[in-house]
Amino acid sequence: MGVHLIKGIAWTGKGVITKVEISMDDGYTWSSADILPGKNVGYGWVSWSFEWNISEKGEYTIKSRATDSFGQIQPNLPFWNKKGYGYNAIDKIKVKVE
Protein backbone atom coordinates (compact mmCIF):
# COMPACT_ATOMS: atom_id res chain seq x y z
CA MET A 1 0.00 0.00 0.00
CA GLY A 2 1.10 3.62 -0.20
CA VAL A 3 2.06 5.66 -3.24
CA HIS A 4 3.18 3.85 -6.39
CA LEU A 5 4.43 5.45 -9.59
CA ILE A 6 2.91 4.05 -12.77
CA LYS A 7 4.70 4.97 -16.00
CA GLY A 8 4.13 4.35 -19.68
CA ILE A 9 4.41 5.65 -23.20
CA ALA A 10 1.77 6.69 -25.73
CA TRP A 11 1.78 7.22 -29.47
CA THR A 12 -0.64 8.34 -32.16
CA GLY A 13 -0.45 8.10 -35.91
CA LYS A 14 -2.04 11.52 -36.36
CA GLY A 15 -1.50 14.72 -34.42
CA VAL A 16 0.00 14.59 -30.94
CA ILE A 17 -1.01 13.05 -27.62
CA THR A 18 -3.07 15.56 -25.61
CA LYS A 19 -4.24 13.42 -22.70
CA VAL A 20 -3.48 10.14 -20.96
CA GLU A 21 -5.90 8.68 -18.43
CA ILE A 22 -5.64 5.86 -15.90
CA SER A 23 -8.41 3.74 -14.43
CA MET A 24 -8.01 1.59 -11.31
CA ASP A 25 -11.52 0.13 -11.44
CA ASP A 26 -11.51 -1.58 -14.85
CA GLY A 27 -12.60 1.56 -16.72
CA TYR A 28 -15.54 2.77 -14.65
CA THR A 29 -13.74 5.99 -13.67
CA TRP A 30 -10.68 7.70 -15.18
CA SER A 31 -7.99 10.03 -13.74
CA SER A 32 -5.55 12.19 -15.69
CA ALA A 33 -1.91 11.16 -15.86
CA ASP A 34 0.96 13.62 -16.33
CA ILE A 35 2.46 13.86 -19.82
CA LEU A 36 6.17 14.31 -19.21
CA PRO A 37 8.13 17.13 -20.83
CA GLY A 38 9.81 16.29 -24.10
CA LYS A 39 9.10 16.19 -27.77
CA ASN A 40 5.42 15.64 -28.45
CA VAL A 41 5.42 15.73 -32.23
CA GLY A 42 3.48 13.78 -34.83
CA TYR A 43 4.40 10.08 -34.97
CA GLY A 44 6.50 10.45 -31.79
CA TRP A 45 6.21 8.62 -28.48
CA VAL A 46 5.47 10.54 -25.30
CA SER A 47 6.15 9.39 -21.76
CA TRP A 48 3.58 9.71 -19.01
CA SER A 49 3.35 8.98 -15.29
CA PHE A 50 0.69 8.66 -12.62
CA GLU A 51 1.01 8.56 -8.82
CA TRP A 52 -1.36 5.94 -7.42
CA ASN A 53 -2.13 6.36 -3.75
CA ILE A 54 -3.53 3.00 -2.74
CA SER A 55 -5.00 2.53 0.73
CA GLU A 56 -6.82 -0.79 0.49
CA LYS A 57 -5.58 -4.30 -0.20
CA GLY A 58 -7.22 -6.07 -3.07
CA GLU A 59 -7.13 -6.95 -6.74
CA TYR A 60 -7.26 -4.13 -9.26
CA THR A 61 -7.41 -3.85 -13.04
CA ILE A 62 -5.35 -0.87 -14.17
CA LYS A 63 -6.15 0.52 -17.60
CA SER A 64 -4.50 3.31 -19.55
CA ARG A 65 -5.81 5.20 -22.56
CA ALA A 66 -4.58 8.13 -24.62
CA THR A 67 -6.34 10.87 -26.57
CA ASP A 68 -4.77 12.72 -29.49
CA SER A 69 -5.19 16.22 -30.91
CA PHE A 70 -7.83 14.91 -33.37
CA GLY A 71 -9.99 13.77 -30.43
CA GLN A 72 -9.31 10.10 -31.09
CA ILE A 73 -9.47 8.01 -27.90
CA GLN A 74 -8.12 4.48 -27.71
CA PRO A 75 -10.98 1.97 -28.08
CA ASN A 76 -11.80 -0.76 -25.55
CA LEU A 77 -11.34 -3.46 -28.17
CA PRO A 78 -8.80 -3.59 -31.00
CA PHE A 79 -9.67 -3.66 -34.67
CA TRP A 80 -9.07 -7.27 -35.66
CA ASN A 81 -6.74 -8.19 -38.47
CA LYS A 82 -4.87 -11.37 -39.29
CA LYS A 83 -1.46 -10.41 -37.89
CA GLY A 84 -2.49 -7.83 -35.31
CA TYR A 85 -1.02 -4.85 -37.14
CA GLY A 86 -2.24 -1.49 -35.93
CA TYR A 87 -3.18 -2.69 -32.45
CA ASN A 88 -4.47 0.36 -30.61
CA ALA A 89 -6.79 -0.84 -27.83
CA ILE A 90 -6.72 0.28 -24.21
CA ASP A 91 -3.99 -1.52 -22.30
CA LYS A 92 -4.75 -3.23 -19.02
CA ILE A 93 -2.95 -5.13 -16.31
CA LYS A 94 -4.23 -6.91 -13.22
CA VAL A 95 -2.41 -6.34 -9.93
CA LYS A 96 -2.84 -7.62 -6.41
CA VAL A 97 -2.05 -5.31 -3.50
CA GLU A 98 -1.26 -7.10 -0.25
Q: Are 62 and 95 in contact (CB under 8 A)?
A: yes
- Asked if residue 69 has pLDDT above 80, the reply is yes
Total-model pTM = 0.86
- Asked if residue 14 has pLDDT above 90, the reply is no
Across the chain, mean pLDDT equals: 88
Question: Cα separation of 59 and 61, whole Å?
Answer: 7
pLDDT tens, 50-66?
Answer: 999 999 999 999 999 99
Closest by CA position to 98, among listed 62, 53, 56:
56
- Asked if residue 3 has pLDDT above 80, the reply is yes
